[in-house]
């Protein structure tokens, strides 16, 4: 028999506790994401996996908006974020700060998710691209590697918010404490 847990039993931390909690050495870079619902979902997923920060780039909307809040459910207040007009600018800044730049994209010589392991002591910036066009080639050119989610159907694409969840679970899921 199963009983759903009450919200009070989930051990959720406050926004203030989240801000002080140790984060994964991971940032997300959203490259021209059109849908505010996808941006809100990214915030919510980043909160779940204690990601350091989100960079919102190009045409990405930024909080506060009702559309982002609708899917973020308040995670836009817990997860740090920064806006950059150009994705390449954000990526170069992160590279200068020692981040390994990982574009999540179907590309020649990409690494399949199941073969990827984060190295201890390294920081990672995962770049997710536009819902139609993906990660810009100029951003792929700046990347240290491309990471690909294996897919077996006819579409060969996932919604960007789904991709974010798959990637973060694949690299972080079993390590969250």
Q: Which pLDDT score, from 0 to 100, does residue 174 have?
A: 53
- The CA distance from 18 to 12, in Å, is 9
What is the sign of the dihedral through the CA atoms of 61, 163, 74 and 79?
negative
Q: Which pLDDT score, from 0 to 100, does residue 176 have?
A: 47
The average pLDDT across 41-54 equals: 97
Q: How many CB atoms lie within 10 A of CB 173?
A: 12
pLDDT per residue as tens digits for the range 69-106: 999 999 999 999 999 999 999 999 999 999 999 999 99
Q: Which pLDDT score, from 0 to 100, does residue 110 have?
A: 98
Residue 172: pLDDT band (50, 70, 90) is confident
pLDDT per residue as tens digits for the range 103-160: 999 999 999 999 999 999 999 999 999 999 999 999 999 999 999 999 999 998 999 9
- DSSP structure string for 76-109: HHHSEEEEES-HHHHHHHHHHTTEEEEEES--TT
Q: Which domains does the chain have, with CATH numbers?
A: 20-149+156-175 (3.40.1280.10)
Looking only at the bridges linking them, the beta strands covering 51-57 and 145-148 are unpaired
What is the sign of the dihedral through the CA atoms of 114, 136, 92 and 78?
negative
pTM: 0.95
Q: Which pLDDT score, from 0 to 100, does residue 177 have?
A: 47
């Amino acid at each position: 028999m199963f009983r759903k847990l009450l919200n009070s039993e989930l051990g959720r931390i406050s926004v203030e506790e989240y801000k002080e909690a140790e984060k994964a050495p991971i940032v997300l870079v959203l490259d021209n994401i059109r849908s505010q619902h996808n941006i809100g979902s990214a915030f919510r997923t980043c909160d779940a996996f204690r990601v350091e920060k989100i960079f919102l780039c190009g045409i990405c909307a930024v909080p506060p908006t009702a559309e982002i809040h609708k899917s973020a459910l308040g995670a836009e207040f817990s997860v740090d974020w920064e806006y950059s007009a150009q994705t390449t600018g954000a990526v170069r800044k992160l590279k200068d700060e020692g981040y390994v730049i990982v574009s999540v994209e179907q590309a020649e010589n990409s690494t399949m998710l199941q073969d990827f392991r984060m190295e201890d002591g390294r920081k990672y910036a995962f770049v997710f691209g536009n819902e139609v066009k993906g990660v810009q080639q100029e951003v792929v050119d700046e990347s240290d590697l491309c990471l690909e989610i294996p897919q077996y159907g006819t579409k060969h694409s996932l919604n960007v918010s789904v991709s974010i969840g798959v990637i973060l679970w694949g690299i972080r899921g079993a390590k969250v404490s």
